[in-house]
């Protein structure tokens, strides 16, 4: 271990890079803005690599800890650290940021500096969320990250962007403000804003219930869980490609991460009580939203609903109460980060050429874009959880975990394998196969070097994770076991 504050660097390099990018000003300097943005994104990614290299998988304790007093009045500290639960999200986030910058390279032509800056700043803030070990610090990053995404959707989005941006912002804000009350309540009880202190503070049952529901609303909106998911399809459809990628790959993970960092360890007894409720909601997401995805005519909307279904798997896994479920869910989160990013980038590649997301406008794309069709095929397969791709590992593990709990839960969860295949492959078939649908499709050009680069990078990740998930699960194992031990122990005093 060294003394270099890698986590701080992972947070502040993208943010400072974003400010620098912003300083390049109007679009006449677009080239410089892009270069600065790419360099900061790359540098931001490079500084996260030592986090993996130096990570000790044999301990559940926080690593790379940084601790500095911030607001003395409330004993709030600038306290950072990661464990097996959060490590991969920091890396994933930094990686996706690089892709987003590359993906927006030529596509974004207006207000380039502001576009790039928004993504860089957002990336830094989101790293802050995953690394924060202080409640206020977490909350500050959690809410601040809304601002850039709101602007990205609103400024560079589609025709209905204003509605989508407002809905996104207000839904999330409503949830997170309830969480703020819960955090303040925990502070008043424990005299500290340290998340790790909260893990051990005893709480009565009714208090746990209240806090549990505050967290459920906050994180449930963000995940998003059925029935508060309605903002996501709107946001996805209107957001520019980069916005959709970050939204699906990272922003949705924030809610799920909140469940493992806050809900499970802080209110374990309430979790035990209400787990059936969350499991039921998750299954609704998996099955019902799966059907909803089936009937979509807009590709982005379809992938958005598929994201909700996949995130339903994640919440399901967390509340199963066994290590297979939690680990499977974490793997699923990372996998979904790669796969959904790839799906949205693929749709973006098509959209840039055709300016349509309607499935009906396509057909026979394979004839004109063979390389693209191959990549799209791989990602579509990963999206339906084909063995050998990353999508399989997580889903299969969660289903195994569900089987331990209850056959019917596992059965309903497993329907996703059928439904996922149905909506993804049916869409793929309609878009890519068949005869060339119209002249526009006939005049499509295949992907260029830049597009090849980001799709290939994601393809490598998807396959690597599918074929050899050990590096991922290895780092999680100890942390997950410790978490479950903690949850099982509960916080209520033993009955007399």
Partner 1 sequence: MNFVVPDFYPATAEIFLAAMTLVVMLITAFARRVARNLSYALAQTTLLVAAFITLFTLDIGVDHTFGGMFVRDLLGGVMKLVVYVAVMVALVYGRGYLAARKLDRPEFFLLTLLATLGMMVMITANHLLVLYIGLEMMSLSLYALVAFNRDDARSTEAGMKYFVLGALASGLLLYGMSMVYGATGSLELPAVANAVFQHSANRAVLLFGLVFLVGGISFKLGVVPFHMWVPDVYQGAPTAVTLIVASAPKLAGLALALRLLVGGMYGLAFHWQTMLMLVAAASIVLGNLAALVQHDIRRMLAYSGISHMGFMLLGLLSGVAGGNADLAAGAYSSALFYGIAYALMTLAAFGMVTLLSGAGFDAGNIEDFKGLNRRSPWFALMMLFVMFSMAGIPFFVGFFAKLVVLQSAIAAGHLWIAILAVVMSVIGAYYYLRVVKLMYFDEPENTAPIVAGGELRVLLSVNALAIAALGLMPGALLDLCLQALRTSALAG
Q: What residues line the site for partner 1 (CB under 8 A)?
A: 25-26, 69-74, 111, 114, 136, 139-141, 143-144, 146-147, 150-151, 154-155, 161-162, 165-166, 169-170, 173-174, 177-178, 180-181, 184-185, 187-188
Burial class (CB in 10 A: 0-12, 13-18, 19+), 156: buried
CB of 185 to partner 1, least distance (A): 6
Of 324, 308, 198, the C-alpha closest to 251 is 308
C-beta closer to partner 1: residue 130 or 376: 130
The answer to whether 11 and 131 are in contact (CB under 8 A) is yes
CB of 145 to partner 1, least distance (A): 10
Residue 156 CA to residue 366 CA, distance in Å, equals 29
C-beta closer to partner 1: residue 173 or 421: 173
CB of 83 to partner 1, least distance (A): 24
CB of 101 to partner 1, least distance (A): 20
CB of 152 to partner 1, least distance (A): 10
CB of 30 to partner 1, least distance (A): 14
Whether the bond into 224 is cis, omega within 30 of 0: yes
C-beta closer to partner 1: residue 72 or 439: 72
C-beta closer to partner 1: residue 25 or 227: 25
C-beta closer to partner 1: residue 160 or 406: 160
C-beta closer to partner 1: residue 181 or 460: 181
CB of 80 to partner 1, least distance (A): 16
CB of 442 to partner 1, least distance (A): 36
The answer to whether 262 and 294 are in contact (CB under 8 A) is no
C-beta closer to partner 1: residue 141 or 259: 141
């Amino acid at each position: 271990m060294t003394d270099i504050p890698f986590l701080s660097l992972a947070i502040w390099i993208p943010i400072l890079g974003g400010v620098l990018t912003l300083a390049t000003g109007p679009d006449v300097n677009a080239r410089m803005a892009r270069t600065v943005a790419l360099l900061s994104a790359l540098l931001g990614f490079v500084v996260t690599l030592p986090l993996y290299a130096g990570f000790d998988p044999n301990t559940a304790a926080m690593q790379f800890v940084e601790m500095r007093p911030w607001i003395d009045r409330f004993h709030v500290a600038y306290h950072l650290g990661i464990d097996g639960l959060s490590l991969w999200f920091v890396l994933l986030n930094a990686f996706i940021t690089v892709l987003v910058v590359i993906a927006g390279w030529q596509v974004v032509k207006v207000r380039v500096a502001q576009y790039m800056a928004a993504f860089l700043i957002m990336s830094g803030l989101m790293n802050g969320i995953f690394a924060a070990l202080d409640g206020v610090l977490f909350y500050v990053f959690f809410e601040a990250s809304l601002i850039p995404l709101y602007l990205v959707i609103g400024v560079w989005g589609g025709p209905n962007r204003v509605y989508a941006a407002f809905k996104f912002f207000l839904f999330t804000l409503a949830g997170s403000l309830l969480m703020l009350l819960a955090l303040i309540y925990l502070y008043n009880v424990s005299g500290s804003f340290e998340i790790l202190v909260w893990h051990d503070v005893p709480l009565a049952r009714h208090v746990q219930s209240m806090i549990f529901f505050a967290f459920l609303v906050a994180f449930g909106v963000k995940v998003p869980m059925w029935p508060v998911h309605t903002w996501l399809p709107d946001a996805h459809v209107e957001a520019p490609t980069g916005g959709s990628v970050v939204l699906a790959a990272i922003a949705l993970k924030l809610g799920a991460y909140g469940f493992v960092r806050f809900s499970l360890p802080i209110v374990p007894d309430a979790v035990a009580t209400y787990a059936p409720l969350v499991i039921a909601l998750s299954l609704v997401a998996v099955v019902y939203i799966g059907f909803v995805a089936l009937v979509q005519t807009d590709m982005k909307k379809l992938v958005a609903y598929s994201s909700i279904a996949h995130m339903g798997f994640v919440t399901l896994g967390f509340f199963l109460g066994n290590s297979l479920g939690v680990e499977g869910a974490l793997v699923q989160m990372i996998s979904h980060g790669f796969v959904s990013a790839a799906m949205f980038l693929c749709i973006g590649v098509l959209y840039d050429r055709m300016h349509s997301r309607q499935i009906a406008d396509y057909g026979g794309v394979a004839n004109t874009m063979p390389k693209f069709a191959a990549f799209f095929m791989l990602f579509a397969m990963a999206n339906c959880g084909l063995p050998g791709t990353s999508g399989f590992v997580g889903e299969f593990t969660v289903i195994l975990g569900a089987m331990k709990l209850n056959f019917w839960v596992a059965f309903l969860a497993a329907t996703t394998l059928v439904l996922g295949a149905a909506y993804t492959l049916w869409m793929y078939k309609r878009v890519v196969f068949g005869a060339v649908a119209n002249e526009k499709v006939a005049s499509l050009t295949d992907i260029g070097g830049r597009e090849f680069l980001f799709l290939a990078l994601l393809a490598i990740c998807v396959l690597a994770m599918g074929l050899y998930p050990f590096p991922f699960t290895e780092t999680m194992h100890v942390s997950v076991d410790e978490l479950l031990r903690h949850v099982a122990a509960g916080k209520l005093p033993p009955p007399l």
